[in-house]
Structure 1
Amino acid sequence: MSKADRHINVADLPEFDAALYLDSPESIAAYLTDILAAGDASLLASALGDITRARGMTEVAKSAGITREALYKALRPESAPRFDTINRVCTALGVRLVAEPLPN
């Protein structure tokens, strides 16, 4: 088989789902740390949505004291959730946001 015969059609590849890989507090913390470095609120909302799906939307909503519907709305990719919501979701997920100094 030649290289031309091994062409991969991107449309045939399965859609990537980060939730499948967020199976430990360490993987969740590493994922959030990378996302926070981007400084994009909607990306953070989307990432928290990935993590919440991995943990179970109903369970996280209950632990965070937020309705499931409100959690879905707050964590959709184009949203900009309030800090209180982010903090409550992080607490429900067993992680916390921390500050560290920027490198010089």
Structure 2
Amino acid sequence: MSLSCLAPAQPPASTLQLTSHDTANRIGSVLLTCEPTGGTHPKRDKACAVLSGAGGDFSRITARHQACTLIYAPVDVTAIGTWHGKPVSYSTTYPNRCEADRDSDGVFAF
């Protein structure tokens, strides 16, 4: 009989497709992977840290302290993919890009 050593199970990588669409018809889309960190998000290290702190739950992200103008220019955002193997499907509308960046602590800053 042969015994083999098994490596500890690695948690599945987290992969999210993030998109934004505003009233000026600007559309942004980035790929974010965490553990290991990668993708096309311009601040992927920060975005992964924010999401890790929220357990991958976008509704649990703590907004950072930052003043934004009261100009109403809605931005629709979505996040679709997986976080540690669990499906993620999130969408919301922020009043403007500044609030999208602030309230997501940079996750939707692209």
Please indicate the TM-score interval, normalised by the length of the shorter structure.
Answer: under 0.3
Whichever structure has more helix as a proportion of its residues is: 1
Whichever structure has more strand as a proportion of its residues is: 2
Using CA pairs under 8 Å that are at least 6 residues apart, name the structure with larger relative contact order, 1 or 2: 2
Q: Scaled by the length of structure 2, what TM-score is found?
A: 0.27
